[in-house]
Structure 1
Amino acid sequence: MWKQSFADTAAAVAVAAAARISTSRRWISTAVDVNFEIRRAVEESFREVSMISPPPKKVNPPPPYSIVKGALKRSEGPLLRRVYGDEEITLSVVRRALALPSHDSSNGDGAEDHSPGFISDLLLHVGVSRGRSNSLLFLCGLYPDSVGIHSVCLLSKLNPDSYQGRVFMELDEKLRAQLSRYLEDRGVDDRLFPFVQAWLYLKNHHNLVNWFGKLGQFVNDKNQHELVHLEVCKDKDETKANVLP
């Protein structure tokens, strides 16, 4: 009686082991298929980005500004620098997308379009320092035909919490005009716009290509790890099945 019971149990275990082997094989097949499709999609996207509207190989800022070393690979930090007398001028740039209020308009098929629009705004952070305790920081809007100052702060290296100044638009009109002239004398003007536009396109292209490369590498590494893990599980299941009576 007990022999029959043992035989039935052994048979059930063997069936379960065979099912696990089959499931492991399906896992391997599925993992390979999915990762293969991801890799292929990444490669196609990489080729598309590389071939369609490639950025210029080199963009030069208006003299006497020079590109800060490593600016292309950094997500933050100064882009341009120059020396003006005993001053060091540094420029950082940020692209800001602004949502416009939704408006009612027809989209061509008679339906009303209530979706908001978007505009892209280029912001310049202009730092002026003389190696002393204080420095000036301007936040400016960069446009094809002008540079507009949004704010100006007097920063203290020794006391960061000190009073930084009034809101720019609350300053006297004559002082605002002189501060604009102050920046123009240091080469902060609309000549920067074409370079900044080209630079941002180059940087975005560089970041996207690197992202595709890292994604493909991650999928490849993950795929290899999964295959090794599943092969080990399959070998263990097959070993268990082989030792069953």
Structure 2
Amino acid sequence: MLKRALAGTVGVAAALRRPCLTTTRHAGTLSSAVNSMLLRSLKDHYLEVAKMTMPPKVAPPDAFSIVKGALDSDGPVLKRSYGNEEISLYVTRLLSGMDDESSGIDQLFLHVDVSKPGQDESLIFLCGLYEDALGIHSVSMRPKDMKTRYLVIPTQYIGPNFEDLDERTRDAFHSYIEERGVNESLFKFLQAWLYVKDHRNLMRWFKTLGMFIDGGKKQS
């Protein structure tokens, strides 16, 4: 009797285990199917983005040179010398609550860095750049980490709101950066440059995500 009872217990335990194995196999099959579907979708999008037509090549204004490797970094895009100063330009999209991806890149956020040798701080202009205008949002002095040349977040007073300055001072600041070649003539180049950078980042995103889903394998 005891032997029959033990045999029955073993049978029940085996029966209880079997559904778990079936569920695990089903989950594995489902996961594989989802991965395959996602990989196909990512590859289709990658190929679609790869076929997109790039904008005509645009050269920057003569005084500026393109920073090597700028497309693959968050550093400056353009640089130029003005007397003993080094002018560095950083650019991103300028977005508002009304913007969306379909609106194109018609508003740019321009960060202008004016540095002088032997100075621990840079003069920083944050501007909105458009095809026919440039507007200054703020002007400040900010310290730099001299090892990396990146801006350090300020811990001290950085100045008044630009709009609180009198009109004569605001106009003088506009003249100051215009003398250094920072004006709407930069728009066409920076617009095209951002389009190429966005395109490259999007392709990299699809490819990197596909490699992760596929266990690190290169996507063809």
TM-score (norm 2): 0.81
Tell me by how many angstroms 1:83 deviates: 1.0
Which has the higher relative contact order, 1 or 2, with Cα contacts under 8 A spaced 6 or more apart? 1
Larger radius of gyration: 1
Is structure 2 residue 122 aligned with structure 1 residue 142?
no
Query: Match for 1:122 among 108, 115, 118?
Result: 108
Which of 75, 78, 81 is the aligned partner of 2:76? 78
Structure 2, unmatched stretches of 5+, are: 146-153
Match status 1:199 vs 2:154: no
Shift of 1:9: 1.4
Post-superposition offset of 1:202: 1.1
- Shift of residue 23 of structure 1? 2.2
- Whether the 8 Å CA contact 1:98–1:121 is kept in 2: the answer is no
Quote how far apart the aligned CAs of 1:71 are. 1.9
**1:156 CA drift (Å):** 5.0
How do 1:104-183 residues align onto structure 2 when only pairs under 5 Å count?
121-131=107-117, 132-155=119-142, 161-183=155-177
Q: What letter corresponds to residue 190 of structure 1 in structure 2? A: E
Aligned position for 1:36: 36
Q: Is the 8 A contact 2:88 2:112 kept in 1?
A: yes
* 1:153 CA displacement: 1.5
Q: Which secondary structure does the structure 1 equivalent of 2:71 belong to? A: coil
Contact 2:57/2:192, CA 8 A, preserved across alignment? no
The alpha carbon displacement at 1:77 in A equals 2.8
Q: Which amino acid aligns with 1:125?
A: H
- Counterpart of 1:153 in structure 2: which amino acid? S
SS in 1 for 2:72: coil
Q: Partner amino acid for 1:169? A: E
Q: Secondary structure at the match of 1:93?
A: strand
Count of matched residue pairs? 204
Runs ≥4 residues deviating over 4 A: 56-59, 160-163
Q: Which 5+ residue runs of structure 1 have no aligned equivalent? A: 101-117, 224-245
Tell me how far apart the structure 2 counterparts of residues 7 and 150 of structure 1 sit (CA, whole Å). Answer: 82
Identity value in percent: 43
Spell out, residue by residue over 1:93-147, the C-alpha distance to the aligned partner (whole angstroms, 9 max, x if none): 12132125xxxxxxxxxxxxxxxxx896321111111121342111111011121
Matches of 2:58 and 2:28, distance apart in 1: 47
In 2, distance between residues paired with 1:130 and 1:122? Answer: 26
CA contact (8 A) 1:142 1:148 kept: yes
State the shift of 1:176 in Å. 2.3
Code of the aligned partner of 1:24: T
RMSD over aligned Cα, in angstroms? 2.7
1:222 CA displacement: 8.4
Q: Is the 8 A contact 2:35 2:214 kept in 1?
A: yes
CA distance in 2, matches of 1:32, 1:163: 56
SS class of match (2:142): strand
